[in-house]
Amino acid sequence: MENHCGLVTLQKEPVPLKGIAVDVSVQGHVATVSSILQYENQEESPLEAVFVFPLPGEAAVCRFSAKIGQTEVVGEVQEKQKAQELYDDALSSGQQAFLLEESSESPDVFSLSVGSLPPGEKASISLDYVTELAVQADDGLRLCLPAVLNPRYKPQGPDSAAGTQVSSVPAGSVPYSLSLRAHVTSPHPISKVESNCPLEPLNYLNTERTQATVSLAAGHKFERDIELLVYYQDAHKPTAIVEAPQTSAKPGTLMGDPVIMLSLYPEFPKRGMSSMTSRGEFIFLVDRSGSMGCKIHSGPGAQNRIGSARDTLLLLLKSLPMGCYFNIIGFGSSHEMFFPKSVEYNQKTMDEALQKVKGMSADLGGTEILQPLKYVYSQPCLPDHPRQIFLFTDGEVWNTKEVLDLVKMNSGSHRLFSFGIGEGASSALISGMAKQGGGHAQFITGQDRMQPKVMQSLRFALQPAVVDISVNWNVPKGVSVTPLSPPIRVVFQGQRALLYAQLTGESPGDTKGSVTVKYSLAEKPVENQLSFSLKPAVDTGLTVHRLGAQTLIRSLEMEERERDGDEKIEGVKEKVVELSVQSGVSSAFTAFIAVHKGDGKAVQGPLFHRQVPTPMMYRGSGMMARSFGYSSGITFHKAAPKKMGVLRSAPSWRSREMAPPRSIGCSIASSGWLARGRAGRMDVEHQADHTSLVEFQSPVPLPTPEKEPLLQLISLQKASGSWILEPSLAEVLGKPQEDVAKSMPAQVNQEVWATVLALVWLYGFKIEAQEEWQFLAIKAVSWIKAQNVANVSECVLAGNNLLGCQVQMDTMGL
């Protein structure tokens, strides 16, 4: 059995990409990421290398250049078709050319084409982007550098061939290296920087601890996306940054005026947060595609994704308030509902749902998100029960923009909370759905537990709805404000909102301004205000301008997709192209093009096409390729050489076709791709016999973990919030059933005693996981109070004595 190592493709051809070096500059809530990709042609013929790779969905690509020898060619943003034609023309005439373009289907997938690289030639490609940092449940700011690009599912249909060819090898086996260094700057002291990958120690650069550097430890193997979590002191303080304009830009344009970025953390008054709502329709959409049967991470004892989703559904079902409505829908290539329509939450419906949850498995084929969402939106909303959708997926689909448009179209009828599970989940899809659905996005990667993140989102969902939101600017006479961000449609307690605006004009005297966010909470008016200086900050590298431009571009792109009629569409598209070219930020309608004419001599010889393999999370264990070495289930058939510029197909999105897999199992072999064509052009057909491509060694079975005591306790709680005295409860408490019964105070109801014991155990032994069980405890306390128990204090004392705890009544809310 062959296993070809080293810098080779699936056909033992040299890989032209040798290494990637990444520099990250974090400034408060935003980051600039600079990547240098080193290419070398070690073949005897001129080469075209194509590398398809992921970027964060919210990233704004703002610079692209190529260095050949001592000459650097800086890429220009051009309308996409024009850029593709320039690239094709350059290659046909023997010139070196470089093209960077965004997928038409998903804004977090890019293609880099390095064309006409002569034999023995080296090239360094520089790619810069800016991105916002997402706020996590523990107030950490998350920067994800996607390293894994899994094949993405697209439903079969008339347009199913549209997409991008991705050549993958198993994660950890890509034949190029990666290094990363980060520089962190903040107005507040930096507490710590964490990662899912090994880091060198954090190095502080000043005594105030507002500047620090950190590097990725050597030897990163691409088996996961790289995640950095940055923690600041006083991270919740609202801030405002006014960035100076680009000196060469014309005043009155976006780049020629100052741009402000506001970071707001609305604080709700306590009177509006006094009680948990009992209303709402909760719909849980759970991915049951084949990839959900794979492990969440590659470490020991890792749970598979569908197993973690089952545990999370148990917790969610137990945490729902009495009187609400709910339903659970599993989806894959098809979708299945637990109930024909949402049912009222009570003991009977909860028990029925829990029985069905136990039987859930990853058995529904490919990841089809669009159809189940359409089904949910087709169902009438329940009066006085706001709809809340919780969507769990590993997020591997091509038709991201189509999904986001559907969510936005229905945004007035619900809030959507999305959860991306595992490496390679599409940030554009997960974050975009939450943004368009007025909810919150979470990513579960590495050793993360899904439950605390889901409970934070449930807490947001149970918060009183905020309505009538308005943003009012107060600036001196002579200054005007043009918002770049779409209107705020949702506000959560303590959750950050970033706003961008263009400031035009000047004030001769006053240099202060303010912004006021007003809204209504529980039928009471609330307002939060932030004052700022109009004096621009120095040396910010136009990061704020580019992020503001990206925000406006994405809004306009969505508007263009919503419109009917060629005339209206063209008008919006022209605006996007103009803004993209002016700001130097890529879009769906533009691309970066760089042409290097060198010494003026055309590169001679037939041009060969090489697909650079991308790391992919292979979900099986011990997978070996029968004949290809690193197998992606794709085989290339190289055409006979023809004359320059004819052998290759134009390396644009329009000529590289891909039929994403109907993912059935955990291996890429399940996708069953066969590719044939000329010089890299892919004509893809679905294989019925998957086993002919890849064979497997059976993984060593992991021991089945015992059910965690916390999950056991949760599973025993009734829908009302109470527990009953039974052997299973005594087992969780770690006490003989006889001792539990004997310790019960006289004249106390057994159910009250059991519920008090459960609360004492939670507060005494699981306080670190309080975020997971807080709603269960609220329900339990409410139930106890409703029983009008005279001797609750005696029960708590007896419970403490039995379990060896010292939990106070007021701690539990009793």
Q: Are residues 776 and 745 in the same domain?
A: yes
CATH number, domain containing residue 400: 3.40.50.410
The answer to the question of residue 685 being in a domain is no
pLDDT (average), residues 727-741? 91
Number of Cβ within 10 Å of residue 82's Cβ equals 13
Of 443, 462, 481, at which residue does a domain stop?
Answer: 462
Q: Are residues 255 and 201 in the same domain?
A: no
Whole-number average pLDDT of the chain: 79
pLDDT at 562: 77
The answer to the question of residue 456 being in a domain is yes
Q: How many residues does the chain have?
A: 814
Q: Which residue has the higher pLDDT, 254 or 695?
A: 254
pLDDT at 617: 61
pLDDT of 275 strictly over 60:
no
Comparing CA positions, the residue from 294, 151, 293, 163 lying closest to residue 662 is 151
Residue range 98-157, pLDDT digits in tens = 999 998 888 888 999 988 888 888 889 999 999 998 887 778 888 988 887 766 766 655
pLDDT (average), residues 575-587? 94
Q: Are residues 384 and 512 in the same domain?
A: no
Q: Counting beta carbons within 10 angstroms of the beta carbon of residue 9, is it exposed (0 to 12), middle (13 to 18) or buried (19 or more)?
A: buried
User: Which residues does residue 47 pair with via DSSP β-bridges, in sequence order?
Assistant: 117, 608
> What CA–CA distance (Å, rounded) separates 24 from 179?
11
The answer to the question of residue 601 being in a domain is no
Share of the chain above pLDDT 90, in %: 35
Q: Which residue has the higher pLDDT, 118 or 579?
A: 579
Alpha carbon distances (Å) from 590 to 298, 405, 569: 38, 20, 15
What pLDDT band is residue 17 in, cutting at 50, 70 and 90?
confident
pLDDT at 529: 86
CB 708 within 8 A of CB 715: no
What pLDDT band is residue 338 in, cutting at 50, 70 and 90?
very high
Q: Are residues 197 and 323 in the same domain?
A: no
pLDDT of 307 strictly over 70:
yes
pLDDT at 130: 92
Maximum CA extent, the chain: 99
Q: Are residues 447 and 541 in the same domain?
A: no
> What CA–CA distance (Å, rounded) separates 126 from 72?
10
pLDDT of 404 strictly over 60:
yes
Determine which of 9-18, 121-130, 583-592 has the lowest per-residue pLDDT on average: 9-18
Helix axes 305-319, 347-358, angle to 10 degrees: 180
> Which residue, chain included where needed, has tokens 């064979």?
695
pLDDT (average), residues 63-71? 88
Q: Three-class SS of residue 559?
A: helix
Determine which of 125-134, 189-198, 646-655 has the lowest per-residue pLDDT on average: 646-655
Q: Three-class SS of residue 708?
A: coil
Comparing CA positions, the residue from 226, 224, 220 lying closest to residue 19 is 220
Q: Are residues 713 and 799 in the same domain?
A: yes
Residue range 428-476, pLDDT digits in tens = 899 999 988 888 888 887 677 788 888 888 888 887 777 788 889 999 9
Share of the chain above pLDDT 70, in %: 80
Q: Which of 302-311, 446-455, 477-486 has the highest mean pLDDT?
A: 477-486
The answer to the question of residue 655 being in a domain is no
pLDDT at 696: 26
pLDDT of 671 strictly over 60:
no
What pLDDT band is residue 12 in, cutting at 50, 70 and 90?
low
pLDDT of 74 strictly over 90:
yes
> What CA–CA distance (Å, rounded) separates 801 from 116?
79
The answer to the question of residue 1 being in a domain is no
Q: Are residues 748 and 782 in the same domain?
A: yes
pLDDT at 166: 64
pLDDT at 171: 64
Half-sphere exposure of 367 (CA within 13 A, CB side): 31
pLDDT of 659 strictly over 50:
no
Domain count, the chain: 4
pLDDT of 80 strictly over 80:
yes
Q: Are residues 189 and 43 in the same domain?
A: yes
pTM for the complete prediction? 0.76
Of 519, 545, 580, at which residue does a domain stop?
Answer: 580
pLDDT at 172: 66
Q: Are residues 374 and 264 in the same domain?
A: no
Q: How far is CA 814 from the centre of its chain?
A: 40
pLDDT of 620 strictly over 70:
no
DSSP 621-656: SSEEESSSSS--S----PPPP-STTTSSPP-STTT-
Residue range 309-321, pLDDT digits in tens = 998 899 899 999 8
The answer to the question of residue 256 being in a domain is yes
Q: Are residues 287 and 434 in the same domain?
A: yes
pLDDT (average), residues 143-172? 64
Calculated CA dihedral for residues 694, 695, 698, 699, nearest 10 degrees = -30
Determine which of 5-9, 167-171, 260-264, 473-477 has the lowest per-residue pLDDT on average: 5-9
Q: Are residues 522 and 386 in the same domain?
A: no
Q: Are residues 517 and 444 in the same domain?
A: no
Determine which of 125-139, 261-275, 514-528 has the lowest per-residue pLDDT on average: 261-275
pLDDT at 517: 86
Q: Counting beta carbons within 10 angstroms of the beta carbon of residue 755, is it exposed (0 to 12), middle (13 to 18) or buried (19 or more)?
A: buried
Of 412, 435, 462, at which residue does a domain stop?
Answer: 462
CATH number, domain containing residue 521: 2.60.40
pLDDT at 704: 41
What pLDDT band is residue 748 in, cutting at 50, 70 and 90?
confident
pLDDT of 190 strictly over 60:
yes
What pLDDT band is residue 351 in, cutting at 50, 70 and 90?
very high
Secondary structure in 3-state letters for 763-788 = HHHCHHHHHHHHHHHHHHHHHHHHCC
The answer to the question of residue 805 being in a domain is yes
Domain range for 217 is 17-232+581-596
pLDDT of 22 strictly over 90:
yes
The answer to the question of residue 686 being in a domain is no
pLDDT at 25: 93
pLDDT (average), residues 394-418? 87
Q: Counting beta carbons within 10 angstroms of the beta carbon of residue 319, is it exposed (0 to 12), middle (13 to 18) or buried (19 or more)?
A: buried
Q: Three-class SS of residue 657?
A: coil
